[in-house]
Structure 1
Amino acid sequence: MKKLIAGVVLGLGLSVAAHGAGDPEAGEANAAVCASCHGAGGAAPIMGVYPKLSGIGETYLYRQLMAIRDGDRPIPEMTGLLDNMSDDDLLDLAAYYDQQSMPIGQADPDLVDQGQALYRGGNLASGIAACAACHSPQGKGNEPAGYPRLSGQSADYVAKSLQDYRKGDRAGGVNAQIMIDIASRLSDAEIEAVSSYISGLH
């Protein structure tokens, strides 16, 4: 697992260096199509299972947009929306959203202790790695490695993502295998607790 993570980090770092940074102003011009579902600045999705895009990381979002456009990550609600966008358009869009502020939610007080324990320490008994190892103790992510910011993300979206990884429904992308392995070891109760904790993490 350590070798896999190291290889992913190196590969993503080289990819980011090759692409450079996007243009947020140009990205804002293309963001109107996203606002109807993800809200202004990507910070207020109309449904909890839609992700907040604001501040989640330029590298991560760019790679996700590429995967969606190219059919490697099928999302029915987004069918055709990115078809006419170039790689540079997607990079600009990712740069725009990366500059927006992520609003922090409120974790369920009854789930905080369990969620915090999983996020910061994992579960040694079941072989679950700590979320903080890749996404940082404050949930700010790791931009060079392409690991997204989690702090403030909707609990419903995090839970759905973990369930999709666990079922194998989300298997595309360079980081997918890491998440599939972790999610496969999580119980429903653990997913609920850690997702709630992440929504209020700051």
Structure 2
Amino acid sequence: MNRAFLPVAKSLFIAMLAVSSLAGAAEGAKAVKADPAKGETIYTNGDASRNIPACVACHGAAGNSTIVQNPKLAAQHESYLYKQLSNFRTPERNNPIMTPIAKAMTEEDMHNVAAWLDKQESKPGAAKNKASIDLGKKIYRGGIAEKNVPACASCHGANGAGIPAPYARLAGQHQEYTSAQLTAFRGGARNNSQQMTMIASRLSDAEIAAVSDYIAGLK
């Protein structure tokens, strides 16, 4: 094997281990039978008696956020969404808005909302920066061998569909949101994925911006 690609292979091996451990967690999550109809009620109306606001206010109708700082959640994998809500309850992904909301939700609430969003249709996004599209495509599809950055597609799929349960659907996500999350991984503000922290630490601001823009145009 080419020595230049040994670190990349190591990164992919770590990714495979993450799949194994998270898949086990996903199996545990599947043991709870979710009710998407109840999830829609929480998403659309919230629950004032428990201080749970309506998710739709920030994440848009059917999970198609129009606020670029807030992620699109439509068609995101149920198991991935459940994991993120669980992580918001811990220091791994502490967030001033989402942490108190997640803590107010029951396990049933989280399963139900995640199951409903999984079934929604995601509206496409679009890349905006023609000057960086080739760089973004290169990083997403082939990685950066000289910086030991693996291809995003190896875990998130060629079209950004992701791999349930461990890897998020990325296709069409807001550039601004993806860029903010990669920056948070790099700086340690988001700490719920060892492999993403490692990868993001090797990306420059320009590379983060380019790959985030490319991701927005995936369908």
Q: Same fold (TM over 0.5)?
A: yes
TM-score, normalisation: structure 2? 0.85
Query: Structure 1 residue aligned with 2:110, among 83, 87, 90?
Result: 90
Q: In the alignment, which of 167, 177, 189 is matched to residue 206 of structure 2? A: 189
Amino acid of the structure 2 residue aligned with 1:22: A
Per-residue deviation, 1:71: 5.0
Shift of 1:82: 2.8
Render the CA deviation track for 1:108-154: whole Å, top value 9, x for unaligned: 2222111111100001111111000000000000014x200000000
- Matched with 2:176 is 156
Correspondence 1:65 to 2:85: yes
Cα contact 2:12–2:150 (8 A) shared by 1: no
Higher relative contact order (CA closer than 8 Å, sequence separation 6+): 1
* d(CA) in 2 for partners of 1:25, 1:127: 44
Structure 1 partner of 2:34: 22
* Higher gyration radius (CA): 2
Unaligned runs of 5+ residues in structure 1 are: none
Q: Aligned ranges for residues 104-119 of structure 1 at < 5 Å?
A: 104-108=124-128, 109-119=130-140
Question: Residue type matched to 2:197 in 1?
Answer: I
Deviation at 1:189, TM superposition (A): 0.8
* Superposition CA RMSD, Å: 1.5
Question: Who is 2:4 aligned against?
Answer: none
TM-score, scaled relative to structure 1: 0.91
Q: Identity percentage over the alignment? A: 39
Shift of 1:18: 2.1
State yes or no: 1:137 paired with 2:158: yes
* Letter in structure 2 aligned against 1:37: C
How far 1:4 moved relative to its partner? 2.6
Task: Identify unmatched segments of 5+ residues in structure 2.
Answer: 1-10, 45-53
Shift of 1:11: 1.5
Q: 1:6 aligns with which of 9, 16, 34?
A: 16
Runs of 4+, deviation exceeding 4 Å:
none
Paired residue secondary structure (1:141): coil
How many residues of Structure 1 are paired with residues of Structure 2 in the alignment?
A: 197
CA–CA distance in structure 2, aligned partners of residues 50 and 199 of structure 1: 14
Deviates more, 1:151-160 or 1:83-92: 83-92
Asked if the contact 2:29/2:79 (under 8 Å) is kept, the reply is no
Q: Cα–Cα, structure 1 residues 79 and 179, in superposed 2: closer, same or farther, change >3 Å?
A: closer
